[in-house]
Structure formats: C-alpha cells, structure tokens
Structure 1
Amino acid sequence: MDTMRERFASTASQLLDSDPRLAVVLAEIGTDGFAAAQEAHPDRVINVGIREQLLIGTGGGLALTGMRPLVHTFASFLVDRAFEQVKLDFGHQGTGGVLVSAGGSYDWPAGGYTHMSPGDIALLDTLDGWTMHVPGHPDEAEALLRHAAAAGDDKVYVRLSVQTNAAARPVTGGGFLAVREGRRGVVVAVGPMLDSVLAAVEGLDVSVLYATTVRPFDDASLRAAIPAGATTADVVLVEPYLAGTSTAAANDALADLPHRVLGLGVGRRELRRYGSVDEYVAGLGLDPRSLRERVTAFLG
C-alpha cells in the first residue's frame, strides 16, 4: 500500500492535468514525487527551496490571482515556522488554498523535535474559517484532497501521516462517522487513531465516532451519539496531536447537558528519547493497552 504522501503526489499530479486553476508549491521536500508533473506543468509546479515563509507567501500570491494553490511540506515548517504568513497571506488577505502537511506529531522520531508539530491543529484553530482534515488511510487522504482541491476558495488544511488504519472508511469532507454504538460513553477517534481506539474499547459498552474532518467540529453527530434520554454524558477524544485540542469544541457541543470530557493525545512534555514510532506512541500513552486503561479509569 502506498503512503499518504505518495498518494498526495499522484493525486495532485492527476489534478494538475485536469484543472488549470491548480498549482503545487513545494519547499524542496516532496519534489521527487512531482518530477513528472513539473516537466508537464513547469509554470504550475513551483519549488521555492528551503524557504518556508516564501512557500506560504507564494501560495497566497497565487491565490490572489485566482488560482487554487496546493502548498506542501512538513507540518513543523508549514504551520509552526510559517504561521505569520498563514495568518496574513491567507487569513488577512481573504484568500483560499490547500495546505498539505506531512510529518505530523511524531512520524519521524529520529528527526527530533524540529520535525514534529503536535500543536498544528490547535495553532490553526486560532484562525478563522479553516477546514481541517485528518485522514487515517491513503484512500481517505485522496478523497479529502480531491474534495479540498475543488472547494472553491475555502481555506483547507490536510494533515497526512505515516500512521494508517488497516482499512479506509467512507469520508465526505465533513461530519463524524458512527462506527459502533454503546451506552456508557462516546469515544471520538481522529484519523489514524481509529484502529488503536477500536482495539482499546473492545468489549466495552461505548460508542465510537470516527473523525477525519475535525474542523468544523461535528456537534450534531456527537450529540446524536448520546443515548436518548441520557441526563449526563461522558466523552473521550483521542487525537494524534496536542491533547485537549478539541475539548472546548466538545464542551460547546454539549453545553446544555451535564457532561465530562477527557482529551487524550500528545502531551506538552517533550519526549527526548525518541526511539521508533511504536515506542513513541507507547510513551505518549496512545497504544491500545494504555488507551484502554485511561478510558476505563475515566468511565469508572
């Protein structure tokens, strides 16, 4: 199976052939996947070199001319390093585009903290009007990328990861998918967290919602997952980025119902002995065994 990044390159290359409004902007990273596309469309596959602020500025400039830029590099460079340009060149200028990240929170532990961005979703969430997709499988990544490329002048962030679920689920570019039903609580699994969540809650009487679009937050699906007649609700959010990123959104969705929310994800404390991805996940308490202990302790 190809990776999400490989699927991004092949999908974006196909879209360049069919939509003259699209352009791909790169900052050295990912250029190999676009070699053929750059030869076919030298004016619409642009590599600015290792200049991430210029990467965003170029995308924003293209958007001002009426084009639809697909802007790509590691999340730590795309969002963290170039945040001021994202805020101004897309938000303040009122333009739209698609930011496509790789690396995520801990995809390359050996690369160190410079190549990790556990706070990307939370940071973008301080800005207005961004749709944010977190696919959990290459097929989902392709569907969401195609949706984002065709989304008029909207501002869209697509967060790719090396971690994937075993099978793709239907995605529409909005709304949570109900995967299983229960009565003791609701667990929202974001993107590549789904398989670990399902393994963790096996045998527990809980509902599981699958989120591949996290902004806008799907208030309606969360409320619908609460059993009819319930006077209280317990919700667990399992996100592959900063723990608690969506806690406020869940609280707002359930504002008129007494409830508790547990936000699980990447902690603020930096893990400095990185190891492998699996070791890093375990160190963060996001492996199935740790998730089960934390969920059952919360539900009592």
Structure 2
Amino acid sequence: MTTPPIAPRPAPVAPLGMRAALAPVLADAVAADPALITVGADGRALFGQVIERYPRRYVDVGIAEGNLVGVAAGLARAGLRPVAAAMAPFLVRRAYEQIRLDVGLPGLPVVLLGVGGGLGYGPLGPTHHATDDITLMSAVPGMEVYCPADAADAVHALRTVLAGTSGPAYVRLSARTDPVLPQAASAGDPRAPRLLRDGDDVLVLATGRCVAEALDAADELAADGVAAAVASVTALRPFPAAAVRELADRRPLVVTVAESLPADGLGPCTAEALGRRGPALISLHTDHRYPPVAAHQELLRFYGVDGRGIRSAVLSHRNRKTREA
C-alpha cells in the first residue's frame, strides 16, 4: 500500500528536562492554591522556585522516603494538597508500605512525583534503575498512574492531576532530558492516547521515553514500505481501554513499547482491552534481568525497547506472516 508521508518532526531545539519544566508550574500552582504544599527528600530541583517564592510551602524531610510519604499523608489528612517528590527507585520501593497504607488505603489526594523512573539513571546501576515503578504503583487501588513522554507532556499531566484528581496519583518523571516530540504529544487530555503519526499497517503504542523511539522506528519502517501509526499513552491507570480499541480497530498488528516491567503495564492492559478477537499483539518491555551499567540509550537497546528493537519486531512479524501465507 502507499506509505503516508512522514509526519513533520519538531525543529531541533535544546531539550528541556521534566524537572526544569515543572519547577515554574509548581510555583504557580502553589500561588494559585492556598492548600497546595510541596514535600521533598533532599532534592530541590523540582521545588527550587517554590522555595524561593514561598519558602513556608515547602517541607524537606531529608533522605527518608518513608517519612516523605508519611508526612505528605498527614498534611493531606489536615486538609492540604501535598505534592511529594523523590527519586523513583527509592520513593517507590523504600516507601511502598506508606504509599499503600497511609495514602492509598484512605484515598488521600497526594501527588507523588517519581524522578528517574525506568532506566534514566543508567550509569548509576541497578540501585538507581526503576523499571518496576509502574507495576508497583498500578497495584495500589485507586492510584492514578502517568508516564509522560517529554517535558511538555509532563507539564500537561501534572496540571491535569492537580485540577481534576481527588485521590492519589503517581507521575513518573525522567532523570535528565528527553527528545522533543511533536506538539500533539502534549495536546488534549493526557488520559487519552494521542495519535502522533498515522499508518494502516501497524499501530505502535508507546509510553514515556519509548514514544521517541517509536517515532524513530516509524521513520525507518517507512523506508521499508511499512506504514506505522504511533500513539502516545500517558495515562496507564485508569487505562484508556476504549480509545485504544478504537485506534487498533483498523490495523492488523499492534506493538506496545514500554520502559517498564510487563505486569500491570502498557502491554497487558492493551491485551486485556483488545481481547482475543483483536489484532495480533506484540509487547516489548523490560524483563527481570539486572541490566548492565550503561547509558540510558544503551539500556533501551539491551531490553529491545529502542527504535531498532521496534523495527525488528515489526519486520519479523511481517516476514513470518509472509512465509505462512
């Protein structure tokens, strides 16, 4: 079939990290909402502007993630709206009991920002990798879970959570900077998937950092004569099942790509949404191997969730179907 033209990519600009993008947004949110208070664990990149403008609206508990969540829960019980942040591997694992019981069980309106979810702290090794954060946070009843694709998407996701979420929410943030994506990646409701590129041969559903990899793969697949659609999925809980079914309906193959473990992640949620009568489904994700100490991009390649891995999965499926025909 005729391959659609490659969607225009943004002009090269200096990438902006999610923390730098969110810092003024948080300060403005504190200014607008007298109930909003921020809580940190000896990491001030996100809250620097809050500290500068509204020092009494910031609480630092030190490197003590369990205390971070406990204090945030107490502030929420007192009628405030806490936004708490820490490095994702330590926030999610060290404080998981407090997240489940102090925040999740009573359904308190605590926003948790996990910095460096996935493999973003690659060279720091397994202590700082957090490919399990989406799985663990999705297992907390009532927890909304978001995995933004770039800085603009992170801003939109946080604003949406602060404006319309009455219970707990977790937002995975990148460790450093991400590729700048088309404006469509942060347009509209972050609770719905955004179609960034159209194509009839395969639908690639990606979340977080893997959205950029999916767009790169689509460029390469176009040269192979494969028309790949790419959609960004920011909200993983609650999962936009109906919208995903609608996107997948007219395409014979769906590929999901996530920088996280499979359980309760993008792949299984998509499989459940599509059911047994849906199109063929390939799920690309990290696995239970400890990764090597390497740069972020190298770790994506290690798990096969980079552009090359996506292209290989699509072409392997098409070649297999051709042989079976």
Q: TM-score, normalization: structure 2?
A: 0.84
Counterparts of 1:182-261 in structure 2, within 5 Å, are: 182-202=199-219, 203=222, 204-228=226-250, 233-243=252-262, 245-255=265-275, 257-261=277-281
Runs of 4+ in 1 over 4 A off after TM superposition: none
Instruction: Quote the offset at 1:79 in angstroms.
Output: 1.0
Letter in structure 2 aligned against 1:132: V
Residue 37 of structure 1: CA displacement? Answer: 2.3
CA shift for structure 1 position 259 = 4.1
In structure 2, do the counterparts of structure 1 residues 97 and 197 end up closer, same or farther at CA, with 3 Å as the change threshold?
Answer: same
Q: Would you say the 8 A contact 1:183–1:227 is kept in 2?
A: no
Q: Which residue of 2 aligns with 1:118?
A: 131
**2:264 is equivalent to residue 264 of structure 1:** no
CA distance in structure 1 between the aligned counterparts of 2:298 and 2:271, rounded to whole angstroms: 32
Render the CA deviation track for 1:181-235: whole Å, top value 9, x for unaligned.
333332101122122112213312333221122222111222112345x8xx532
- Are 2:172 and 1:179 aligned? no
Distance 1:163 1:122 in 2: 23
Please give the alpha-carbon distance, in whole angstroms, between the structure 2 residues aligned to 1:59 and 1:107.
26
- The 1:277–1:153 alpha-carbon spacing in structure 2 relative to 1, beyond 3 Å, is same
Partner Cα distance (1:152, 1:183) in 2: 35
**How far does residue 176 in structure 1 lie from its aligned partner after superposition?**
0.4
1:256 CA drift (Å): 5.6
Q: Is the 8 A contact 2:239 2:269 kept in 1?
A: yes
The TM-score normalised by the length of structure 1 is 0.90
Q: In the TM superposition, what are the counterparts of 1:73-152 in structure 2 within 5 Å?
A: 73-152=86-165
Calculate the aligned-residue CA RMSD, in Å.
2.0
Q: 1:14 aligns with which of 8, 28, 43?
A: 28
Would you say the 8 A contact 1:27–1:72 is kept in 2? yes
1:236 to 1:35, Cα distance in 2 relative to 1, 3 A: closer
In structure 1, the residue corresponding to 2:85 is in which secondary structure? strand
Aligned with 1:282: secondary structure? helix
SS in 2 for 1:179: strand
Unmatched 5+ stretches in structure 1: none
Give how far 1:151 is off: 2.4
Quick check: 1:105–1:240 contact (8 Å CA) kept in 2? yes
Report sequence identity in percent.
29
With over 3 angstroms needed to count, the CA separation of the structure-2 counterparts of 1:152 and 1:288, relative to structure 1, is: closer
Q: Which residue identity does 1:235 align to in structure 2?
A: V
Secondary structure of 1:95's partner? coil
1:294 Cα deviation after fit:
1.8
Larger deviation: 239-248 or 81-90?
239-248
Whether the aligned pair in 1 keeps the contact of 2:24 and 2:49 (CA below 8 Å) is no
1:46 aligns to what?
59
CA shift in 2, pair 1:193/1:63, >3 Å: same
- Is contact 1:200–1:291 with CA below 8 Å preserved after alignment? yes
1:236 to partner: Cα distance: 1.2
**How many aligned residue pairs are there?**
295
What is the match of residue 154 of structure 1? Answer: 167
After superposition, the Cα gap between the structure-2 partners of 1:276 and 1:62, relative to the gap in structure 1 and judged at 3 Å, is: same
Tell me which residue corresponds to 2:314: 295
Residue 251 to residue 43, structure 1, CA distance change in 2 (3 Å):
same
Offset from partner CA, 1:95-127 (integer Å, 9 cap, x none):
121111111111122222111110101111112
Query: In the alignment, is residue 71 of structure 1 matched against residue 88 of structure 2?
Result: no
| CA pair 32-159 structure 1, distance change in 2 beyond 3 A | closer
Which consecutive unaligned segments of at least 5 residues does structure 2 have? 1-14, 321-325
Could you tell me whether the CA contact under 8 Å between 1:163 and 1:192 is conserved in 2?
no
Q: For the Cα contact (< 8 Å) 1:107–1:163, is it kept in 2?
A: no
* Aligned residue in 2 for 1:166: 180
In terms of mean alpha carbon deviation, does 287-296 or 256-265 score higher? 256-265
Q: Is the contact made by 1:196 and 1:287 (CA closer than 8 Å) also made in structure 2? A: yes
Are the equivalent residues in 2 in contact too, given 1:180–1:207 (CA < 8 A)? yes
* CA apart distance, 1:163: 4.7
